[in-house]
Structure 1
Amino acid sequence: MSWIKDVYGTEKPIIAMCHLQAMPGDPYYDKGKGMKDVLDKARHDLLALQNGGVDAVMFSNEFSLPYLTKVRTETVACMARIIGELKDEISVPFGVNCLWDPIASLDLAAATDAKFIREIFTGVYASDFGLWNTNCGEVVRHQHEIGAENVRLMFNIVPEAAQYLVDRPIESIAKTTVFNCRPDVLCVSGATAGSATNPEILEKVKKTVPETAVFANTGCRVNTIEKFLSIADGAVVGTTFKIDGKFENLTDEARVREFMDTVKAFRDRK
């Protein structure tokens, strides 16, 4: 898995979430403050994350609640504008996540030169968003059609707010996903953003597919990240970087720095 260092610049990378505020078309978009406010807050979070020492960032429409499984055009357009305006200020590798639409995520990645995307690519689920189906073969074909072959695909195999329609052992899901779909990364999540990943599930997945990168996807905190990184190949981190550790808040640079100091000390010991 030498590609991890090539893409993220280090082993055991921390990918920080840059959560974009609600945008035009989203139910909670603040029309009075407009897109300038969305852009200003995205810039604040990006700079706080970078100054705090994260290895990479991932832009997501996190406040487009409730989420769609087919993202609308205006959302992708707004995300592209924001990333485009911030491009000269981005100093770390970055990815994108249009919740929850892998085609839209790939289109945005191709337009902005993102290095990776994270999505739900496989499975059929009973979810808060209704019956949630996927078509990985169609997505990967689209990836090649638009020239995005080098965009790394991070498969969330424990979707938030959803459960497989038919119960399957996580080991079976990991094994068949790797065999059939060749993911770059398998992401293991908790129930929602900020909810801790179960380390036992994380370990089961890594033992089942040792040659595939496995990331902890939610709920990593400064007092748990060493445990997660002792199992996983990296982590995606969002809520714990926020002011007071609350999902709704902006990023707190001091919290980021404290977290990354712990991560760097852990990596130095390995």
Structure 2
Amino acid sequence: MTWLKDIIGTEKAIIAMCHFLPLPGDPYYDKEKGMEYVIEMARKDLLALQEGGVDAVLFSNEFSLPYLTDVKTETVAAMARIIGELMSDIKVPFGVNVLWDAKKSLDLAAATGAKFVREIFSGVYASDFGLWNTNVGETIRHQHRIGAGNVKLIYNIVPEAASYLADRSIESIAKSTVFNNRPDALCVSGLTAGSITDSQILKLVKNTVPDTVVLANTGVRLENLEEQLSITDGAVVGTTFKYEGKFENHVDINRVKAFMDKVKSFRKPLITV
């Protein structure tokens, strides 16, 4: 049994993305509609995801494009307000992700009571956002300084729009990340949000670190969910749940229900054995 059962309530868990619209300070923030509109749309998506039957929700500033690796205070403040306003509506376990800043993600988790955080905690990358360095030792010390020691850490080891500066195999990255950092889970992604994660890469990672939770981070769809969940311990799902399966759209409850019905059917034999 993994921590997913204790924290989220099931194995083969589906963590649904609740994407926030651009926030104050972001280039595409709608100043006319303001924060009230951002909150309204976040609530609409959250309720659709929950009614559709997802196991957990991950709040992120997905539309804060282009992303920062040293996020500004106004972004974290805005996200904390949104989650605070939604608190009475949140009925499932939730996590947070302040893209792409591990410390700020932990700050937000501590402030809101989030159960888990997904981030780029370790490694050095060449990315669309420039040279991307991390300091995992300092980040984990920061986690404990702010009283967030119980927050589960999901390490994205194949970040979107970035690649390791060193020429390393995915097996090497997975093995050393687990040995050195003891992550609660590893996330494996495709190139961008919504891009299918290669099943062969997922198999390599899971076979290399069989005792660590491994999640498919992008591109899990109705037609491939059984294959991906047969390899992994669960998935983070965003674009699939949107109208027409498009990243920029809002959540379509019918797509969520169809997906989760198939997931629950897939899980039944696992539960009864």
TM-score range relative to shorter protein: over 0.9
Q: Secondary structure at the match of 2:50?
A: helix
User: In the TM superposition, what is the alpha-carbon distance from 1:128 to its structure 2 partner?
Assistant: 0.2
* Equivalent position of 1:167 in the other structure: 167
Matched residues in 2 for 1:23 and 1:145: separation? Answer: 28
The list of structure 1 runs, each at least 4 consecutive aligned residues, that deviate by more than 6 angstroms after superposition, is none
Cα deviations across residues 65-102 of structure 1 (Å, max 9, x unaligned)?
00000110000000000000000100000000000000
Matched residues in 1 for 2:173 and 2:254: separation? Answer: 38
Matched residues in 2 for 1:81 and 1:114: separation? Answer: 14
What amino acid maps onto 2:126 in structure 1?
A
Matched residues in 2 for 1:173 and 1:32: separation? Answer: 45
User: In the TM superposition, what is the alpha-carbon distance from 1:170 to its structure 2 partner?
Assistant: 0.3
Matched, 1:208 2:202: no
User: In the TM superposition, what is the alpha-carbon distance from 1:156 to its structure 2 partner?
Assistant: 0.2
User: In the TM superposition, what is the alpha-carbon distance from 1:239 to its structure 2 partner?
Assistant: 0.2
Alignment map for 1:6-45 (pairs within 5 Å):
6-45=6-45
What amino acid maps onto 1:269 in structure 2?
P
Cα deviations across residues 151-171 of structure 1 (Å, max 9, x unaligned)?
000000001000111110000
- Alignment RMSD: 0.5
Matched, 1:2 2:2: yes
Alignment map for 1:237-252 (pairs within 5 Å):
237-252=237-252
What amino acid maps onto 1:121 in structure 2?
F
List runs of 5+ in structure 1 lacking aligned partners.
none
Sequence identity, in percent? 71
Matched residues in 1 for 2:193 and 2:3: separation? Answer: 27
Matched residues in 2 for 1:61 and 1:84: separation? Answer: 15
Verify the 8 A CA contact 2:186 2:215 in the aligned structure 1.
yes
* Equivalent position of 2:261 in the other structure: 261
In the comparison of the two structures, how many residue pairs are matched?
270
Alignment map for 1:149-168 (pairs within 5 Å):
149-168=149-168
Alignment map for 1:100-249 (pairs within 5 Å):
100-249=100-249
TM-score (norm 2): 0.98
Matched, 1:77 2:74: no
Matched residues in 2 for 1:214 and 1:260: separation? Answer: 19
User: In the TM superposition, what is the alpha-carbon distance from 1:4 to its structure 2 partner?
Assistant: 1.3
What amino acid maps onto 2:211 in structure 1?
E
User: In the TM superposition, what is the alpha-carbon distance from 1:269 to its structure 2 partner?
Assistant: 2.2
Matched residues in 2 for 1:215 and 1:131: separation? Answer: 26
Matched residues in 2 for 1:120 and 1:40: separation? Answer: 29
Matched residues in 1 for 2:167 and 2:268: separation? Answer: 40
What amino acid maps onto 2:104 in structure 1?
A
Cα deviations across residues 236-259 of structure 1 (Å, max 9, x unaligned)?
000000001000000000000000
Matched residues in 1 for 2:4 and 2:96: separation? Answer: 17
User: In the TM superposition, what is the alpha-carbon distance from 1:268 to its structure 2 partner?
Assistant: 0.4
TM-score (norm 1): 0.99
User: In the TM superposition, what is the alpha-carbon distance from 1:2 to its structure 2 partner?
Assistant: 3.1
List runs of 5+ in structure 2 lacking aligned partners.
none
